[in-house]
Amino acid sequence: MGKINTIGVLTSGGDAPGMNVAIRAITRTAIYEGWKVQAIYRGFEGLINDEICNFTTESVSNIIQRGGTILKTARSNEFRTFEGRQKAYDNLKKHEIDALIVIGGNGSLAGALEFAHEFDVPCIGLPGTIDNDLYGTDNTIGYDTALNTIVSAVDKIRDTATSHDRIFFVEVMGRDAGFLCLNSAIAAGAEAAIIPEDQTGIDQLKQFIGRGIRKSKNSSIVLVSESPKTGGAMHYADRVRTEYPEYDVRVTILGYLQRGGTPSAVDRILASRLGVAAIEALKEGQRNVMIGVKNDQIVYVPFYKAIKKDKPIDPELINVLGILSI
């Protein structure tokens, strides 16, 4: 890899609290190393459309507490084509960008991997997604903040559930990963979590009802992953109305409020560490790797592993929820 003088940084895919922290850390660490920073707006779409400008230390002042991403984000159909990626590469060369840092989730890192292979561009990825579904890192940027947002919302919903003796099905994000659902259920004291990773074949609704939910409690909260594998909260609420009409049931879909808000201290520290480590990785000659944290240590995870391998749910957490929900 040739000498690096200028790096590009972009955010792609869904926004996540802490992305701005990562942008700040990358920018200031690069400048500390004597490198220039070119900020790319609106992800890969902005790279194609030449939405690129120089960033200084002042450009990232007073953003550490802000949710979302100051660089904006967009999904790019054009980047899925070779012609679109060629335009992106031409703009990289135009701005003399020697390496690219991509902050995003599974799809963003997959795009970076293909781009890097086609045009021999050194790419480093940072895991920025509330879903926490990238293999090789214990946590992703935004996950902790989203978890706290869900717990706060469920605490409020329980007040109404208790007042009216109701079952509430609360749908949370996560795509095909149940990390948000399971861990927020434990943290909020929910009675059950319906997640896509449950491959036991057991009817999770019947299992929940079969516990005798009214024996010791006058309300119940069930968290449901939004995944098509579960069917979502409305699916289970409709089943209760049909199969167990004696129960009063309601649904709350938390939606995009889970992706917003001020990043937690945990996410700020994680994003800061990963941002600094991204520049260190480039200094070491690393390329096509995601920066992660395992057992509190910085690790380099090849893109193909981060995006292709499934991140497993700890079965002990399912056991913990089951014991504590009696």
Q: Which of 15, 131, 133, 267 is catalytic?
A: 131
**120 annotated active-site:** no
**302 in helix, strand or coil?**
strand
d(CA 217, CA 108): 44
Q: What is the DSSP string of 147-207?
A: HHHHHHHHHHHHHHHHHHT-EEEEEE--TT--HHHHHHHHHHT-SEEE-TT--S---HHHH
Check: CB of residue 32 under 8 Å from CB of residue 7: no
d(CA 81, CA 212): 54
d(CA 251, CA 167): 9
Helix or strand holding residue 282 (H, E) = helix 265-283
d(CA 268, CA 22): 8
d(CA 23, CA 41): 12
> Could you give the C-alpha distances from 181 to 66, 228, 244, 274, in angstroms and in order?
25, 14, 24, 25
d(CA 237, CA 255): 17
Catalytic residues: 131
